[in-house]
Every structure is written in structure tokens, then in C-alpha cells.
Amino acid sequence: MNSRRDISPPPPPPRQQRLRIAVVQLAPRLGEPDANLRRARELATAATVEHQPDVVLLPEAIPTPALYDPSLPYATYPCDGAPYQLMRDLAREHGCMVGGGYFGVSAGDAKALYIMAEPDGAVHVHRKDQPDWWEAQYLRGGSSDGFCLTSVGPIGLAAGLEWARTRTVRRLAGDVRLVAGGACWFSFAERGPIRAAFAHAGDRDFHVARHIPARVARAVGAPVAIAHQVGDATGRAPLLPSAPWPTRRLGESQIVDRDGHVLAHMSAADGEGYVCAEILVAEPTPVDPVPMSFWLSPLPVSVRSANALLGLHGRRRFARNKRAGGFPWQSWQRRRLLPYHPGPLDLEPAIDDEATAVESSS
């Protein structure tokens, strides 16, 4: 699985080796999970045919953009459901490691999962530590640290705004040979009163998305590969559900060496597609210290305040809806036939999301 407590690690890899990594930039559409999974398969397959990579990475939340929308709970799967099987199938078919993210039910709650499947059938699972923004209305935080012992050595997995939090870097720095994963970062509303309130934050969003991979690489001391979502989408406005939230997903899929040099890059203007680069995987050598702040790069006060407010509101609403049995996954979870023997994806200690570490107000 994905913890330093693993008791059956794979054989030790060479002290250093070269890997070809492909990152796939996707533009999933709201409310179309089946079509989005098919498109993910098409692009991942095209990337493997063209580049013959050792690792292929897809973004987080493949079945749906991680926007506030009534359709989002219906794109939540059993932990070993269709997105999980997609990654396993791609890994076996193409003989490479395949990573991707989705919303799945694990340990009795919906969580944001990012998995890495290997050709031999092994699957490493990371549960994002804290729901981002309005995800807290639909998901709970996970307790895994993102550390995985794989056939290419120890790697770290990260998803969403974990990439921008210093605690992600602290738990991986000096311990992993590669940091990999995906994200679905978006701009603030492109028009209307919300845009006016957060206009100053727009350029900062793109700046952070562009420079975070290099900062993570230098602080962890290992190469970084991140696959992003891209494209225009319109969700709803949290706390104002009748108001639309037209937004752009930021793109910025990258492959970066451990010194922070960008080896391959796709911007929002590039749209859907993939890029590939060869990296050197070796013992980690951190270069930069980890800041003492909560965020790896400074964010505007308005952005940090909105994130904290939406997280608090979302956690309370999630608890209320779960008590009322209001999530679609609760009904099919109750219908699961017994006797049921839990698998590795289900074996995670339950945690209290109210106790999940959040940004301090200071």
C-alpha cells in the first residue's frame, strides 16, 4: 500500500536509473463521468504508444472536474470501481505504471483518492489529506502520507492543493525518489461579482500553478511530475447555489528534474494532450529548506480566507448530509452483499475531519 509501515517491500531498485514519464492533460466535463473515463483511456493509450513511457500520469478527479456542482456526488465510486480498474487495465496493457485520481469510498467515507497501478497488479493508494475548497461538502480527509514503495523505489503521491502545502513536502522530503500526482486547479469566476471580488488573485493563481512543481522538487530533492486538468467549465457558487461559477482550469502540467529545471510543460493554452520527458531517479537530495508557513508559495489573504470558510462550511454540511443518508454512495454501500471481506483500500482508520489540520488564521 502507501505507508512506511509496509511489511512486504519490493526488491530494492538500482541506486539510480532513468525513467520516461508522460503526463496527460485532460478536460473532463461536468456530469459526464463515463465519457471522461473513456477520454482518459484514449489519451493515456496514445501517450504510451507514442512515447513508450515507464510511468503515465493522469490528473486528479478524472471522472468529473472538482467544481461545486450537484453532479459531483454522483461521480463518486466504490474504492475499487471503474477508475481504479481503468488504471489497473492500462498498467497491464502497456507494461508501465499508471497514476490517476477519482472520488472513491474508502473506510466508510468518500475521499479524494490518487492511485498508482503497476504492471504486475500492485496498486498504491493515496487519500488526499484535506478536501480542497467546496470538496469538503462531499468528501472527508484521508490519513495516508503519500509514501509508496514501488518497483522503481520509494515515490510520493500528491493531489490537488496538497502540492501547495508545506506539510506535503515535509512528509516526503529526503525520503522519495519521485513526487507524482495530479491536480484540478481553477481560476476564480471569470465574470460577475465573484470575479470582481477576487480579480487581484487571478494572476497569482497561474503564477503559483506554474512555479509550484519546481519548488516541490527542490525542497523534496527529487523529480516532480504533475498532470493537470484544463479547459473552461461552469459550476455553481458555494453559499450562492443559484449563481454560476464560470471558470478556467489552469493547466500547467509539468515534468521537472530534482534541481527544478522544467523538462516538459503544457499550459492552459495547449488544451488536452500529453508530454513526455526522461528523468534521473536517484537518492533524494533536498536543496531548499521547507518554509515555516502553511503554504509553499504565498497566497492572497482573500484566497486563504475563502478556502478556510468553505472548508468549515463544507465539513459541517457533509456531517449533516451523511447523518441524513443524503449521499448517493450511502445507498449502494448499504446494499453491498454480505458477508463482505474488506480489502486493502478499505483498511484505513477513521479520522475526524474536524480535527484535520487546517491553515491557521494567523
Q: What is the pLDDT of residue 188?
A: 65
Range of the structural domain that residue 93 is part of: 17-354
Residue 12 contacts by C-beta under 8 Å, 6 or more apart in sequence? 153
Q: What is the pLDDT of residue 345?
A: 54
Global confidence as pTM: 0.86
Q: What is the pLDDT of residue 356?
A: 36
Q: Has residue 322 got a pLDDT over 70?
A: yes
Residue 18 buriedness (CB in 10 A; 0-12 / 13-18 / 19+): exposed
37 located within any domain = yes
Max CA pair span of the chain: 56
**What cell numbers appear for 170 in the block?**
515535509
* Cα–Cα dist 195/54, whole Å: 41
Q: What is the pLDDT of residue 107?
A: 77
Task: List Cα–Cα distances, 317 to 142, 312, 347, in angstroms.
Answer: 18, 9, 25
pLDDT band for position 69 (50/70/90)?
confident
Element (H, E) at 332: helix 328-334
360 located within any domain = no
Residue 352 buriedness (CB in 10 A; 0-12 / 13-18 / 19+): exposed
16 vs 95 pLDDT, higher one: 95
Q: Is 59 left (phi over 0), alpha (psi -120 to 50) or beta?
A: beta
Dihedral sign (CA 133, 242, 72, 320)? positive
Element (H, E) at 203: helix 202-220
Q: What is the pLDDT of residue 31?
A: 87
Q: What is the pLDDT of residue 193?
A: 53
pLDDT band for position 210 (50/70/90)?
confident
Q: Is 146 left (phi over 0), alpha (psi -120 to 50) or beta?
A: left
10 located within any domain = no
362 located within any domain = no
343 located within any domain = yes
1 located within any domain = no
12 located within any domain = no
Q: What is the mean pLDDT of residues 318-336?
A: 81
CATH of the domain at 224: 3.60.110.10
Mean pLDDT of the chain: 83
- Structural domains in the chain (count): 1
* Cα–Cα dist 247/233, whole Å: 6
The per-residue pLDDT for range 136-148, each reduced to its tens digit, is 889 998 888 899 9
Contact status, residue 25 vs residue 225, Cβ threshold 8 Å: no
246 located within any domain = yes
Q: What is the pLDDT of residue 93?
A: 96
The per-residue pLDDT for range 285-316, each reduced to its tens digit, is 999 999 898 888 877 676 777 778 888 888 89
Residues written for the chain: 362
